[in-house]
């Protein structure tokens, strides 16, 4: 039965091996579900967050995977709107990764809000002046769009497509994909931006507060730019990783190089604006409220090194690697660039979430520290396990890489 579900003309590991490989992930999923139960049953006191350190591991993780998941909407935009047909070979995988990232983020948020049964309040009675209201709306809608984009891929399963009506529906639904890709890009633009904007408007937190550009704080645009810069790198990395684990050639090298090039160009643009933003913030915005650079970077471990690391080693360096054709052509450099780019966006989200809350903002306040509880860590790992399991099943039974069949003989 298992073989009848696998894409025609490609081979996958034996079913027993596949299940054995998934067991550890299912165990992690189980532990996470138990932790989830504890948080739902006994409340957020099972976490180390409090009224002052209200954002912890989960929000950091949400911001990071939502940024990395931007590869889905951006690849869709490049393929369906800008007609970059080479990305057809990775779009299915990108959609699945996007769906995993966004659904995983929402799963973590459901636990984080503490009262998940009242989550619909944010849609029904939102605060129109809150950036989070926009985030809630856009995330919910974009997850819906991703689910609709996922449906045709599921319907391409070998067994399902034998039902003529399924294949016909898949075909017709695929025809409206450019529309959905456009809507997805719009939603992504706003929620990525609003996530950044949410920190940029915190005028009680000088580390995060930024100047306004066209109504929005500068972090609005920087979050969008960094997400679309790192997104293609994340698709590149996952494709390479899946290829290595499965031992199959999944796409041609030029597709990975194109993803790297786009990532590189956008990273350079991002680094340029991020540098200007940092200079304006350190020399104007922050001093205006009585905070110097030393106030932001004088508390270990958050020294000035972290800003240099983010902008230079994890921003400028991968950008230069990825825009260089000769370096990009070498797999080791291409991967190095992509890893650094993804690490850069992850560090940016970490700094934005954690450093902002750690730093004292009043003369009598202390530098705060926070260590996640085992429940928080377990739920974080549960989302990763969920992603691995869903992607593994999708890779096994769905045509995620249409070029694979053609490439296995070349």
Partner 1 sequence: MFPWVHEFRWELGHLIFTGGFAMVLVVVLTGITVAFRKVYEVYKKNTVDKILWEATFEDLPTISRSCRHAISGVFKERTCNNLFDCRECAVHAQLVRNKIPEKVFQKAGHDGDAEIFGLAIPLDRMYHRGHTWVKQDEDGNYLVGIDDFAKRLVGKPEEIVFPQIGNRLYANGRGWIMKRGKTDVRILSPVDGEVIETGDSEKGWYLKIKPAENNQNTNHLMKNGVEIKAWFMKELERLQFALATDQVGASLADGGVLTDDLPKSNPDADWDGVYGEIFLEP
Chain residues in the site for partner 1 (CB under 8 A)? 3-4, 8-11, 123-126, 128-129, 133-134, 137, 141, 144-145, 148, 156, 161, 164-165, 167-173, 175-176, 179-180, 183, 186-187, 247-248, 399, 402-403, 405-406, 408-410
Nearest distance from residue 229's CB to partner 1, in Å? Answer: 25
Question: Would you call 299 helix, strand, or coil by DSSP?
Answer: strand
Nearest distance from residue 36's CB to partner 1, in Å? Answer: 29
Pick the closer one to partner 1 by CB: 52 or 159: 159
Interior/surface letters 336-359, b for 16+ CB within 10 angstroms, e for the rest: bbbbbbbbbbbbbbbbbbbbbbbb
Handedness of CA 153, 123, 58, 212 (dihedral sign): positive
Pick the closer one to partner 1 by CB: 7 or 107: 7
Cβ-based neighbours of 26, under 8 Å, separated by 6 or more: 385, 389
Nearest distance from residue 155's CB to partner 1, in Å? Answer: 10
Pick the closer one to partner 1 by CB: 134 or 376: 134
Nearest distance from residue 9's CB to partner 1, in Å? Answer: 4
Q: Which long-range contacts (CB under 8 A, 24 or more apart) does 303-312 make?
A: 306/347, 306/351, 306/355, 307/278, 309/347, 310/344, 310/347, 310/348, 310/351, 311/271, 311/274, 311/275, 311/278
Nearest distance from residue 90's CB to partner 1, in Å? Answer: 16
Nearest distance from residue 177's CB to partner 1, in Å? Answer: 9
Structure tokens at 22: 């998934």
**Cβ 307 vs Cβ 295: under 8 Å:** no
Nearest distance from residue 163's CB to partner 1, in Å? Answer: 11
**Cβ 226 vs Cβ 270: under 8 Å:** yes
Peptide bond between residue 341 and the one before it cis (omega within 30 degrees of 0):
no
Secondary structure element (H or E) that encloses residue 68, with its range: helix 57-68
Pick the closer one to partner 1 by CB: 119 or 268: 119
Pick the closer one to partner 1 by CB: 19 or 168: 168
Pick the closer one to partner 1 by CB: 33 or 183: 183
Pick the closer one to partner 1 by CB: 3 or 330: 3
């Amino acid at each position: 039965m298992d073989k009848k579900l696998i894409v025609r003309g490609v081979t996958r590991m034996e079913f027993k091996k596949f299940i054995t490989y998934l067991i550890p992930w299912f165990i992690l999923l189980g532990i996470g579900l138990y932790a989830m139960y504890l948080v739902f049953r006994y409340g957020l006191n099972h976490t180390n967050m409090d009224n002052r350190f209200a954002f912890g591991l989960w929000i950091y993780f949400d911001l990071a995977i939502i940024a990395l998941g931007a590869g889905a909407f951006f690849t869709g935009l490049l393929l369906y709107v800008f007609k970059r047909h080479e990305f057809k070979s990775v779009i299915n995988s990108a959609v699945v990764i996007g769906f995993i990232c966004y659904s995983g983020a929402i799963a973590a948020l459901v636990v984080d809000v503490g009262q998940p049964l009242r989550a619909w309040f944010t849609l029904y009675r939102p605060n129109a002046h809150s950036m989070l209201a926009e985030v809630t709306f856009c995330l919910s809608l974009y997850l819906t769009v991703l689910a609709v984009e996922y449906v045709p891929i599921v319907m391409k399963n070998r067994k399902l497509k034998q039902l003529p009506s399924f294949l016909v529906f898949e075909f017709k639904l695929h025809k409206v994909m450019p529309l959905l890709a456009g809507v997805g890009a719009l939603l992504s633009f706003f929620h990525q931006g609003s996530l950044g904007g949410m920190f940029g408007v915190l005028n009680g937190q000088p580390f995060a507060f930024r100047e306004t550009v066209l109504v929005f704080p500068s972090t609005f645009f920087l979050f969008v730019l960094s997400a679309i810069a790192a997104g293609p790198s994340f698709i590149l990395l996952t494709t390479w990783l899946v290829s290595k684990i499965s031992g199959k050639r999944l796409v041609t090298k030029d597709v990975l190089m194109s993803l790297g090039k786009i990532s590189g160009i956008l990273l350079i643009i991002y680094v340029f604006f991020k540098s200007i933003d940092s200079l304006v913030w350190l020399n104007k915005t922050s001093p205006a409220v009585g905070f110097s650079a030393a106030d932001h970077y004088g508390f270990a471990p958050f020294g000035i090194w972290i800003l240099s690391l983010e902008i230079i080693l994890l921003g400028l360096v991968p950008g230069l690697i990825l825009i260089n054709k000769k370096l990009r052509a070498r797999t080791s450099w291409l991967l190095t660039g992509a890893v650094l780019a993804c690490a850069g966006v992850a560090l940016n989200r970490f700094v934005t979430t954690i450093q902002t809350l750690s730093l004292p903002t009043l003369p009598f306040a202390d530098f705060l520290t926070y260590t996640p509880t085992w429940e928080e860590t377990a739920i974080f790992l549960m989302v990763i396990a969920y992603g691995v399991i869903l992607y593994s099943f999708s890779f096994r039974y769905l045509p995620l890489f249409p070029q694979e069949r053609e490439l296995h003989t070349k």
